């Protein structure tokens, strides 16, 4: 059977995927044994078939992985940051070679269309380039001391072993946002990927291993695929891991914050989104409709940044609905590996059920389905993207349903639009479409969008890696990933004062025992 799969998808062989794969790697050439471990099946949402199996890591495997990462930290932290950057540059080049293969594996394992699969690998390449530059820019400040012949400054040191927990929807890019930055700062890391996308993680680990081997390094990047209840909890409770960066549901994030917070560890949390676009009546609708389509239907509605709500000025409501339905009708649904497909499957049968449950819950709350939401009659997990009208922030609108379900909510005044916009628990990404400076500036002001990302005439999804990525309220704790100064979270700050005088003056002018 597996031979057939290999023949059908030759990229699996290029990426080193086997019929039964080890789920734990403590470094170069050290994949831990598969014997005696429970097997996890990787299921393709394209047709529901099993692609390959993965031996789940045990607690003992976890121990081996952490110990290796800890030991490697002793070496890695002593390599000058710009030299670490050069090693990351090699990793970026190796990723470039495997962009097509890895992009296709992402598509096969989680169902996003292949253009988006390859786009995701490009995002990983972009952040590795960013990290190379950053390796020469890990700046601290200098301050003027209040004391004569004293110098004061700060510097940043690496933290140690960083835990990276990723979800199925961006099985490569989200790891890379964390790992590339953590690596140049001098940290080593352990990756716990989603059980829905273990093969993507194994393929990436193999690419990383090859690069690290060339440089005589071993365990900068390590991997552990196991049950949340077993290795996940161990990781959260592990005092040897000073930072956990986790992507997933708000419920999961609360658990991470609780457990890691209790041991005073750091967390970066990237949790649920409920992203809206405000459409003012002066908006360029040609742009807006395209942005909504990409935002709501891209990745089959399974991005954290997916557009879930359109808040539309009443005067253009009818036109927007008509144009959106027309655009939705043109979405070709099918095999995501086929380059003509616009929307592939959702990740699982459960995702279809969640979407249908949400649609069924709408009428009693005053909502109404106006398009889509039908199962597609073919093997795999396919559903047509849906549009629903909602009178306001009814309960279903306040809940993130991780599927292609878009709500349209009318408004009359900008105040009302912003109130609706901010009136949900989540706060990741947001956008306004308008040609008015007054409205766009209002949206970006302190009395505007309350999200971590706020765009003008651009949709809610598809952020570049150069900016900080993260949200507020139920989306997270203010932690950010990717660009800007996100790197500071992966390091510890040290403030130093040096006295080069022959006196010992005290700060605040205190005279003590003189």
- Report in angstroms how near the CB of residue 162 gets to ligand UN1 at its nearest: 18
Pair 409, 420: CB distance under 8 Å: yes
Catalytic annotation on 120? no
Q: In the β-sheet with 491-499, what is the strand arrangement from edge to edge?
A: 142-143, 150-158, 491-499
Q: Which residues contact residue 290 at a Cβ distance below 8 angstroms, ignoring those fewer than 6 apart?
A: 327
Residue 434, both tokens: 């308008």
- Report in angstroms how near the CB of residue 500 gets to ligand UN1 at its nearest: 48
Range list of H helices, 298-394: 317-329, 349-361
Using alpha carbons, select from 257, 85, 103 the residue that is nearest to residue 165. 257
Residue whose tokens read 């301050």 = 143
| Other Cβ atoms within 10 Å of 82 Cβ, number | 13
Residue 198, both tokens: 């273990």
10/484 with CB nearer ligand UN1: 484
Catalytic annotation on 389? no
181/280 with CB nearer ligand UN1: 181
72/481 with CB nearer ligand UN1: 481
- Report in angstroms how near the CB of residue 303 gets to ligand UN1 at its nearest: 4
What gap in Å lies between CA 129 and CA 487, rounded to an integer?
14
Q: Which residues in 14-160 belong to E strands, given as ranges?
A: 20-22, 24-25, 39-43, 50-55, 142-143, 150-158
61/400 with CB nearer ligand UN1: 400
122/145 with CB nearer ligand UN1: 122
6/456 with CB nearer ligand UN1: 456
- Report in angstroms how near the CB of residue 256 gets to ligand UN1 at its nearest: 15
- Report in angstroms how near the CB of residue 501 gets to ligand UN1 at its nearest: 52
Binding site for ligand UN1 (CB under 6 A): 123, 169-170, 174, 247, 303-305, 461-463
280/431 with CB nearer ligand UN1: 431
160/462 with CB nearer ligand UN1: 462
Pair 431, 458: CB distance under 8 Å: yes
- Report in angstroms how near the CB of residue 299 gets to ligand UN1 at its nearest: 7
Collapse the DSSP code of 196 into the 3-class scheme (helix H, G, I; strand E, B; otherwise coil) and give the result.
coil
| Secondary structure element (H or E) that encloses residue 11, with its range | helix 11-14
- Report in angstroms how near the CB of residue 112 gets to ligand UN1 at its nearest: 10
- Report in angstroms how near the CB of residue 462 gets to ligand UN1 at its nearest: 5
Residue 257, both tokens: 């914050």
What gap in Å lies between CA 113 and CA 216, rounded to an integer?
37
Secondary structure of 29-94 as H, E, C letters: CCECCCCCCCEEEEECCCCCCEEEEEECCCHHHHHHHHHHHHHHHHHHCCCCHHHHHHHHHHHHHH
State the Rg of the chain over Cα. Answer: 24
Collapse the DSSP code of 509 into the 3-class scheme (helix H, G, I; strand E, B; otherwise coil) and give the result.
helix
Using alpha carbons, select from 255, 247, 242, 342 the residue that is nearest to residue 290. 342
| Other Cβ atoms within 10 Å of 233 Cβ, number | 14
The one catalytic residue in 109, 123, 270, 400 is 270
The one catalytic residue in 116, 120, 200, 304 is 304
Which 8-state DSSP code applies to residue 253?
H
- Report in angstroms how near the CB of residue 307 gets to ligand UN1 at its nearest: 10
Using alpha carbons, select from 407, 347, 386 the residue that is nearest to residue 109. 347
Residue whose tokens read 């597609």 = 376
Q: Which residues contact residue 485 at a Cβ distance below 8 angstroms, ignoring those fewer than 6 apart?
A: 468
Pair 409, 311: CB distance under 8 Å: yes
126/321 with CB nearer ligand UN1: 126
Residues assigned a catalytic role:
270, 304
């Amino acid at each position: 059977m597996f031979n057939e799969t290999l023949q059908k998808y030759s990229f699996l062989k290029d990426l080193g995927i086997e019929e039964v794969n080890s789920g734990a790697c403590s470094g170069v050439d050290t994949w831990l044994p598969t014997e005696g471990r429970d097997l996890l099946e990787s299921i393709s949402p394209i047709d529901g078939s099993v692609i390959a199996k993965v031996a789940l890591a045990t607690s003992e495997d976890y121990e081996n992985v952490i110990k290796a990462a800890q030991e490697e930290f002793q070496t890695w932290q002593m390599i000058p940051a710009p030299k670490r950057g050069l090693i990351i540059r090699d990793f970026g080049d190796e990723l470039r070679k495997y962009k097509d293969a890895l992009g296709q594996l992402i598509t096969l394992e989680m169902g996003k269309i292949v253009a988006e699969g390859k786009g995701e690998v490009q995002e990983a390449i972009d952040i590795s380039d960013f990290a190379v530059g950053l390796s020469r820019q890990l700046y601290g400040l200098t301050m003027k001391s209040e004391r004569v012949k004293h110098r004061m400054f700060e510097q940043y040191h690496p933290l140690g072993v960083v835990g990276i927990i990723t979800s199925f929807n961006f099985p490569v890019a989200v790891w890379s946002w964390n790992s590339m930055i953590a690596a140049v700062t001098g940290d080593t890391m352990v990756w716990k990927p989603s059980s829905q996308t273990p093969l993507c993680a194994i393929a990436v680990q193999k690419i990383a291993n090859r690069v690290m081997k060339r440089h005589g390094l071993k365990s900068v990047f390590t991997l552990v695929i196991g049950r949340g209840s077993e290795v996940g909890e161990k990781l959260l409770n592990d005092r040897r891991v000073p930072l956990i960066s986790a992507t997933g549901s708000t419920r999961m994030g609360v658990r991470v914050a609780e457990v890691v917070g209790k041991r005073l560890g750091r967390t970066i949390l990237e949790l649920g989104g409920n992203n809206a676009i405000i459409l003012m009546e002066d908006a360029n609708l040609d742009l807006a409709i395209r942005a909504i389509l990409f935002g709501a239907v891209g990745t089959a509605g399974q991005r954290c940044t997916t557009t879930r709500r359109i808040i539309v000025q009443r005067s253009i409501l009818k036109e927007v609905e008509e144009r959106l339905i027309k655009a939705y009708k043109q979405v070709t649904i099918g095999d995501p590996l086929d380059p003509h497909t616009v929307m592939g499957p959702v990740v699982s049968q459960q995702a279809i059920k969640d979407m249908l449950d949400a649609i069924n819950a709408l009428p009693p709350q005053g909502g109404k389905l106006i398009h889509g939401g039908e199962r597609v009659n073919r093997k795999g997990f396919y559903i047509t993207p849906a549009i629903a009208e909602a009178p306001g922030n009814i309960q279903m609108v306040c809940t993130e349903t991780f599927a292609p379900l878009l709500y349209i909510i009318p408004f009359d005044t900008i105040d009302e639009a912003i109130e609706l916009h901010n009136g949900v628990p989540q706060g990741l990404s947001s956008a306004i479409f308008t040609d008015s400076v007054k409205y766009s500036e209002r949206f970006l002001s302190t009395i505007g969008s309350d999200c971590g990302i706020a765009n003008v005439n651009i949709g809610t999804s598809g952020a570049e890696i150069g900016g900080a990525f993260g949200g507020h309220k139920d989306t997270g704790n203010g932690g950010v990933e990717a660009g800007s100064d996100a790197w500071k979270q992966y390091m510890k700050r040290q403030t130093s004062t040096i006295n080069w005088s022959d006196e010992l003056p005290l700060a605040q002018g205190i005279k003590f025992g003189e």
